[in-house]
Every structure is written in structure tokens, then in C-alpha cells.
Structure 1
Amino acid sequence: MERLTLAEERVEILFRKIKNEEKVVLVFGGVRIDQLDIAATVLEELSINMIYRGRKQVDGRLIDKMEGKGYMYLNFVENINIAFWADEMELVESPFGSSAFCAFDF
């Protein structure tokens, strides 16, 4: 990972492919950050471990959707964890500008 941006209901992750230096951006929209845990000492050249849609315990129940948003987990090998609610996701490949958009259907 080359850059992680958290701003105005968006999470943007810029990945750089190791072999050919191409870049890919993964964007989550309609974001509400629930947890941000940074235990890493070095924040350069982060490696993503896992991105998945999961569940969160709310009022004693496990839920995976709330107010039209799904619960997402983003974990890095370097011990950085982010949990957030999001209602859309977009994958943008550069330099060609092609993209794939996915609005979560909750």
C-alpha cells in the first residue's frame, strides 16, 4: 500500500503493484469510522492482510448492516486495523482510468 486516506465519509487506499509499479485505488464511500487501531511503528510500505465485510455486536446482537451500510474490516500485516460502515465501494485502476463500482445493497 502506498497511501491510506480517511476523509469526509471516504476511505481511499492506493496500492502499488510490486512487479510493474501500476497503481490501483480502492475507494469506500458513505463511510463512518467505528475503530482505528494503529500499533505499527513504521507506516511506510504497508501490506494489506485482509479486507472483508463482517458483523459487529450492537445491543447484544451481531449485525452486518445498519442504515443502508455494511460493516467492513481492513487489516494490515503491520498491525493496523480499521473497522467502518460503508455503503459503496469502487476500484479504480490507473493509469488507464478504468473502474468498477459496487453499491452495497442493504
Structure 2
Amino acid sequence: MEVKVVSAITLEILKDLLQLEYQNKYYDIHNDYNCARISYLEKKLFLFLEKIDASASMIILFNQVDLVVFNTYPTKDNGTIDSFYRGRTFMNEALVEETEDEKGYFYLEFYEGQKIEFWAKSLEIQESPK
């Protein structure tokens, strides 16, 4: 299967990304998936998600990432993502929604309060049936 890379700045500002369509398939990240693991390596941020019914897993991969906030800790919760969107942030005393090198700013928050904020150039989804 060919993986489609989506430019971050093409995603609508403040649009809820918990329910999204990608390559003609609908994903409900909040209700159908738990985040099993998060990895950051060589400017790539990986969200490893497991379907609640254990029928599939997927990875949301962000490319050319600059982490701004990474506040996470162990929890009893199964990694429910509560908020996920591309937004705006203050940079050099101005409210901005993208950088000159076409990175978008993302907010990712979990049910128990952990959060990650970052700039990313693009994202892609890789799905694996179990």
C-alpha cells in the first residue's frame, strides 16, 4: 500500500484531528484507539496506536519535528488521546500558524493531562491489521 504524506500546513487550523479521513478511510482516534507508545527519533515523532478491540494497530508519523512541550508521565489510563489539532502559537511576540519552512504547530493532549506541542512538516498514517 502506498502511504500518502500530508503536508502539515494543508490541515485546517483548529480542526479536530481525532476523527479524520486519510486515504479514503475514516479513523476515530479518541474512541477506537489507545496510544500504546510515543517515540521521538531523528526529528520524527511516532504515535503507536492500538485499536481498542485489538483488531488493528497504526502509527501516526510526523516528519521534521521540533518538540516544544513534552509533558508526559506513567498513568493507569490506556493512553486515550483527548485533544489533537493543528493550531497557532506565539513566536517572536506574534501569533503564527506556520513557519517559513512550512511547518505546522500541533497540540496533542491525553485524557489524564499529558501533552505534547510541536512543529512538524508533514504526517502520514501506517496501518497494520492484526
Select the residue among 50, 66, 81 that pairs with 1:16.
50
5+ unaligned residues in a row in structure 2: which ranges? 1-34
Which one has more relative contact order, counting CA pairs under 8 Å at least 6 apart? 2
TM-score (norm: length of structure 2): 0.67
1:32 corresponds in structure 2 to 66
Q: How many residues align?
A: 95
What is the CA distance between 1:81 and its match in structure 2? 0.6
Aligned counterpart in structure 1 of residue 87 of structure 2, from 54, 64, 71: 54
The CA RMSD over aligned residues, in Å, is 1.8
Mark the CA change 1:59 to 1:30 in structure 2 (over 3 Å): closer, same or farther: same
What is residue 78 of structure 2 aligned with on the other side? Answer: 45
Runs (5+) with no aligned partner, structure 1: 97-106
Moved over 2 A (4+): none
Match of 2:113 in 1: 79
Counterpart AA for 2:83: M
Task: Note if contact 1:14-1:23 (Cα within 8 Å) is conserved in structure 2.
Answer: yes
Match of 1:2 among 36, 46, 50: 36
Aligned partners of 1:50, 1:72: CA distance in 2, in Å? 10
- 1:88 Cα deviation after fit: 0.6
Q: Distance in 2 between matches of 1:20 and 1:41?
A: 22
Percentage identity across paired residues of the two chains:
28
- Superimposed CA distance per residue, residues 10-48 of structure 1 (whole angstroms, 9 cap, x where no aligned partner): 11011111124310110000100011122x442762111
Question: TM-score, with normalisation over the residues of structure 1?
Answer: 0.81
Name whichever structure is richer in strand by fraction. Answer: 1
Q: 1-side partners of 2:117 and 2:94: how far apart? A: 17
- Asked if structure 1 preserves the Cα contact closer than 8 Å seen for 2:55 and 2:129, the reply is no
Match of 1:79, SS state, is: coil
80-89 or 15-24: bigger deviation: 15-24
